[in-house]
A and B are shown apart, each in its own frame.
Chain A
Amino acid sequence: MTEYSPGLEGVVAAQTAISEVDGANGRLIYRGGYLIEDLAPAVSFEETAYLLWNGELPNKSQLDALRQEMAAARKLKDSTRSVIISLEYDTDPMDVLRTAVSAQGAAKALQKPTVVEAISLTAVVPTIVAAAHRRRHKRDLVEPRAELSHAANLLWMMDGQEPARERVHWLDQYLVLLADHGLNASTFTARVVASTGSDLTSCVVGAIAALKGPAHGGATYAARTMLDSIGSVENVDRWLADAHAKHARFPGFGHRVYRTYDPRAKILREMAKTADPKLHQLAAHTEEVALKILHDAHPERPNATNVDFWASVVLTGAGIPKELFTCVFAMARIAGWTAHVLESLADLRIIRPASQWVGPEPGKKPIPVEKR
């Protein structure tokens, strides 16, 4: 038996062709060998999902077919709708998502995960997220529209009006950039669940549950909350210095894998300039000061702005309220989760690590309750 490795850091838990995080060189590679900076400007989220599921970018007719399949699967089942409506108005949108995906995927008999199912679950996420949003504002749900793209549908169903083209573009780019990222905690969760032979819905529900954690998917929300709390450019220096003095971590900075600037953060930083110029200005100054403070404290550590920091600005520009940030992250990452599950089926083996016993010596005898 090996030694305990906290967080399984450095342990290789899967072989994958879905994506590669090349931290040393600051590269993110998607299935097929595409660098994220080459892919992002060239493809939509739907093309990215197709790539992750099938291993190749779709041609025009394949893409059209996928769009149709997604359009057909975007509606909530009646039972899912009732489940969503049963929840309190102010339920955490991630809890709505976890529950509604679970209900949408409820079935009579256990099924092996398929691409068709991956498409269905991916397609319905924006419908659920928009429903959670509408419910929070005590408004009626809006039906999806078949002719709109995946990103456009979310904005349409949230607002009930045709979204501006740029907003759709920013959201779509975000979805492409966040669609997969190696063996992060939620993807790993999906693979562990899949390893028992469970169904795709269970894998995705588990992944959503993991993404909910502030140490994982919650970071975009935390980054935006920090920017809100800083408030204006003049406050940046003092706010960060105070926070640092109190040993508070800066949300949006730090990553276990990248040793250089996160390539997704770079793309989002550029996009943030047009997506929300005012917030960009605040964020850019915050980044500058934060990196300086972090560098002074730990000169040996690399540049550490992560994707969450700039995603918070771009999503704001796209008109997503911060309460939905983690849900929108799930809307992107579900493409990767499902692709990983499908990949793992080829060589399914239950993931059952060992634990190290640090409790009392075996052999204690129980004392009857009345004598304890």
Chain B
Amino acid sequence: MPAEYVPGLEGIVAAQTEISLVDGANGQLVYRGYVIADLAEEISFEEVAHLFWYGSLPSRAQLDGLAAQLSSVRTLTPAAMTALDALPTDSDPMDVLRSVLSVQGVLPHLQKPTIEHAIHSTAALPTILAAFHRRRKDLAFVKPRPDLGHAANYLYMLNGEEAKPELVRALNTYLVLLADHGMNASTFTARVIASTDSDMASCLVGAIGALKGPAHGGAPSAVMDQLEQIGTAENAEHWMREARRRKERFMGFGHRVYRTYDPRARILKAMCQRLNPKFYELASKVEETALAILHEEHPERPQATNVEFYSAGVLQAIGLPKDFFPPTFAVSRVAGWSAHVLEQASHNRLIRPQSEYVGPQPRKPVPLAERG
């Protein structure tokens, strides 16, 4: 007999990995041995990507090499550009990202995933998003600049001018913090797809589809929506108690893994305080109230502010529109996704779990003419 059904596969080990460790008990996130707090404000997104793909932090020469490679593939293929132009301008940016990466990633024939493919897709995501943003605002497309880093290029292509260094730095830290997080649903999606020996673009397109879900990457936009409804810090307590009576969830709280404060949320919170004081004033009050209410209801549960909550404030400070929060999450997480794909492909076994049949026992079909 098969094992018992495990809802959400909670606690089931679906992969062995060296890429990241979510140590929920101690509130630690570890990238290939490095604790996130030691990396976040010290290194660039490109260095993290190198760490994921090659297994080590790059030397200066390796980093320059990777930056040059990323730079050489930041432009969209003519097909991807045409596809982007064909999609309606009011499309959800996640749908645009999913569709255009699907074109950008087309290879002449099926290939086993490589680091080169990882670089290719990682480089392209900011270009796709920026191009779409410009297009829907009826602004001319801005070409990437070879002298700018990954975060700086994204903002440059979005705005048509170089962003302030502190905003580039903030975006970079965000990209570092979100780049991987154990076996989350989108990463797991990428690994399941990789397990069929499919190609890199297929894995990443699938992961984008999973990240789109409100229970996963869609959360920061929902945080913003809720904060907008609350409006002011004075209104927080009243609004939230009312919301609770209507059985509404507080957005940006709760995590299946961390038993202490999410280490990424802590860093993002400090960034919000610095970069987005207006947001911080409201958000910190909402957080305080939410945690108090949640504690009243479930005193046994841990402090539960998650990464989405303060992500919203940081991304807003950087100047991104709300519907660009989820795809910007993808801009970061693609480094982790692609590293997991490479890891899965390197010692692969088809991921094919079982299901438990809960339908009726066999019976005969009735011919069409006799069906009631």
Contacts and interface: CB of A to CB of B under 8 A. Distances in A.
B187 to A, nearest CB: 9
Contacts, number: 416
Contacts of B14: 4-5, 8, 353-355
B208 to A, nearest CB: 8
A113 B4 CA distance: 28
B196 A215 contact: yes
Contact of B357 (A2, A17, A58, A189): A17
Contacts of B2: 10, 12
Nearest to A42: B365
Given A355-B15, A359-B17, A363-B33, A214 B110 contact: yes
Interface string B332-370: 000000000000000001111111111111111111110
A209 B359 contact: no
A34 B349 CA distance: 31
B92 to A, nearest CB: 6
A102 B102 CA distance: 8
Contacts of A57: 365-366, 368, 371
A17 to B, nearest CB: 3
A286 B236 CA distance: 73
A86 B82 contact: yes
B33 A359 contact: yes
Interface in B193-225: 193-199, 201-203, 205-206, 208-218
Interface stretch (A90-98, A153-161, A232-240, A312-320): A90-98
Interface string B238-265: 0000000000000000001000000000
B38 interface: yes
Contacts of A217: 196
A89 to B, nearest CB: 11
Contact of B8 (A9, A29, A216, A352): A352
Interface residues of A, number: 117
Contacts of B350: 7, 185, 215-216, 256
A364 B34 contact: yes
Interface in A170-199: 182-186, 188-189, 192-199
A358 B17 contact: yes
Given A83-B83, A360-B33, A106 B92 contact: yes
Given A2-B11, A198-B212, A32 B110 contact: no
Interface of A: 1-20, 22, 27, 29, 31-35, 38-39, 42-43, 47, 57-60, 63, 78-79, 82-83, 85-88, 90-92, 95, 98-99, 102-103, 105-110, 182-186, 188-189, 192-199, 201-203, 205-206, 208-218, 256, 347-370, 372
18 contacts: A2-B13, A4-B13, A34-B362, A43-B365, A59-B372, A79-B86, A83-B87, A83-B103, A108-B90, A184-B352, A193-B185, A196-B210, A212-B202, A347-B7, A350-B213, A354-B14, A357-B17, A359-B19
